[in-house]
């Protein structure tokens, strides 16, 4: 009786929730295929260590084995395997239409917020990246499992399970993990231990805020930080300042009036 009432719940949910809406794009609407990757999930099937990218079809028609372009990197890729996923069940699909959600086997080329398109290049609106409030350094306590730890953490970051920042001036790269909620650290640690057999320890850091910014090399060299502030790069290579309080934020703005600081950043679509 574990599934009693589920079907009634899903039918009710479909009646109550809004229908799929349109997405903003930087180009005029196109009849060709385009889709938006809004989720990446590792280890859906733990036996195969697979990764699946969930894509919403935005325009045109998806056909299995079609060749598409990743708008961010301009790299062409063939979508040979596509599924309709419901729980643990997978059903191979040959076609999909606007509004449909499909799962694609992730070859390591996709990022959250990527647009896949056919023929004409289309850029869908990116995903927001919010300022985290909790920061910590995560270490692997078993040196023999370091390789599995690094691989697992990389995949979880690609999923968007947590953000990561690092100091570009330090030779030994220390990954400073960041999240909006403390529970995200518990999830990451649990998944690293259960899926990759990599035990971890957590060391909290005093930062509470992030402000992203765009600046010329000259502006960046002359930027004035509060005493407790720190320059860093996020996982996408964007410049950011790590801060400990709202007072630090105000001091940062006062000391650098020519630089625009943002508490939320939308993932861009340019190549790395």
Strand order in the sheet with 34-42: 75-79, 66-70, 115-117, 34-42, 51-59, 101-105, 82-86, 89-92
Residue 272, pLDDT above cutoff 60 = no
**Better pLDDT: 136 or 270:** 136
How far apart (Å, rounded) are the C-alpha atoms in residues 8 and 30?
37
Distance (Å, whole) CA 175 – CA 185: 13
Q: What is the 3-state secondary structure (H, E, C) of 162-199?
A: CEEEECCCCCCCCCEEEECCCHHHHHHHHHHHHHHCCC
pLDDT score recorded for residue 230: 93
Looking at residue 269, its pLDDT comes to 52
Half-sphere exposure of 181 (CA within 13 A, CB side): 5
pTM for the model stands at: 0.76
Average pLDDT over residues 177-201: 92
% residues pLDDT > 90 (the chain): 36
User: Per DSSP, which regions of the chain are E strands?
Assistant: 34-42, 51-59, 62-63, 66-70, 75-79, 82-86, 89-92, 95-96, 101-105, 115-117, 128-130, 134-140, 163-166, 176-179, 200-205, 209-213, 230-234, 239-243, 261-262, 264-266
Q: Please provide residue 190's backbone torsions phi and psi, each rounded to the nearest 5 degrees.
A: -65, -45
Where does residue 21 rank: exposed (0-12), middle (13-18), buried (19+ CB within 10 A)? Answer: exposed
**83 φ, ψ to 5°?**
-135, 155
What is the pLDDT averaged over residues 62-86? 87
Does the structure show a pLDDT above 60 at 80?
A: yes
So what's the pLDDT on residue 185? 94
Q: If you average pLDDT over residues 9-21, what whole number do you get? A: 83
**pLDDT for the residue numbered 91:** 85
Q: Which residues pair with 136 in a beta bridge?
A: 177, 204
CB atoms within 10 A of CB 147: 12
CA 127 and chain centroid, separation? 8
Q: Contact, 124 vs 58, CB < 8 A?
A: yes
Mean of the per-residue pLDDT values of the chain? 86
Q: Is residue 270's pLDDT more than 60?
A: no
pLDDT category at 179 given cuts 50, 70, 90 is very high
Average pLDDT (150-179) is 85
Q: Residue 22 pLDDT > 70, yes or no?
A: no
What pLDDT is stored for residue 45 in this prediction? Answer: 64
Query: Looking at residues 235-260, what average pLDDT do you find?
Result: 93
The pLDDT of residue 246 = 94
Tell whether the model's pLDDT for residue 155 goes beyond 60.
yes
Position 248 scores a pLDDT of 95
Assess whether pLDDT exceeds 70 at residue 160. Answer: yes
User: What is the reported pLDDT for 23?
Assistant: 64
| Domains assigned to the chain | 19-117 (2.40.30.10), 128-266 (3.30.70.3280)
């Amino acid at each position: 009786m574990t599934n009693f009432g589920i079907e009634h719940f899903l039918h009710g949910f479909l009646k109550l929730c809004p229908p799929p809406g349109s997405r903003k794009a930087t180009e005029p609407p196109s009849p060709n295929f385009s889709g938006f990757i809004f989720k990446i999930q590792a280890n859906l099937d733990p036996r195969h260590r697979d990764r699946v990218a969930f894509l919403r079809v935005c325009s045109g028609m998806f056909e299995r084995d079609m060749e598409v372009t990743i708008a961010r990197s301009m790299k062409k890729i063939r979508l040979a395997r596509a599924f309709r996923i419901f729980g643990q069940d997978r059903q191979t699909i040959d076609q999909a239409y606007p509004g449909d959600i499909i799962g694609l086997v992730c070859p390591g080329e996709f990022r959250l917020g990527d647009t896949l398109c056919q023929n004409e290049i289309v850029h869908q609106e990116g995903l927001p990246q919010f300022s985290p409030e909790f920061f910590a350094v995560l270490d692997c306590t078993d040196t023999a499992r370091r390789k599995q730890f690094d691989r697992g953490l990389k995949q979880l970051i690609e999923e968007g399970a947590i953000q990561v920042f690092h100091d570009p001036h330090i030779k030994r790269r220390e990954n400073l993990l960041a999240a909006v909620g403390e529970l995200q650290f518990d999830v990451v640690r649990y998944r690293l231990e259960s899926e990759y057999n990599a035990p971890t320890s957590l060391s909290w850091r005093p930062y509470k805020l992030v402000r992203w910014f765009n600046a010329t090399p000259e502006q960046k060299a002359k930027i004035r930080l509060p005493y407790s502030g720190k320059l860093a790069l996020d996982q996408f290579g964007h410049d950011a300042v790590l801060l400990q309080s709202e007072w630090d934020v105000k001091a940062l703005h006062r000391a650098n009036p020519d630089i625009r600081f943002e508490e939320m950043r939308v993932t861009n679509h340019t190549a790395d």
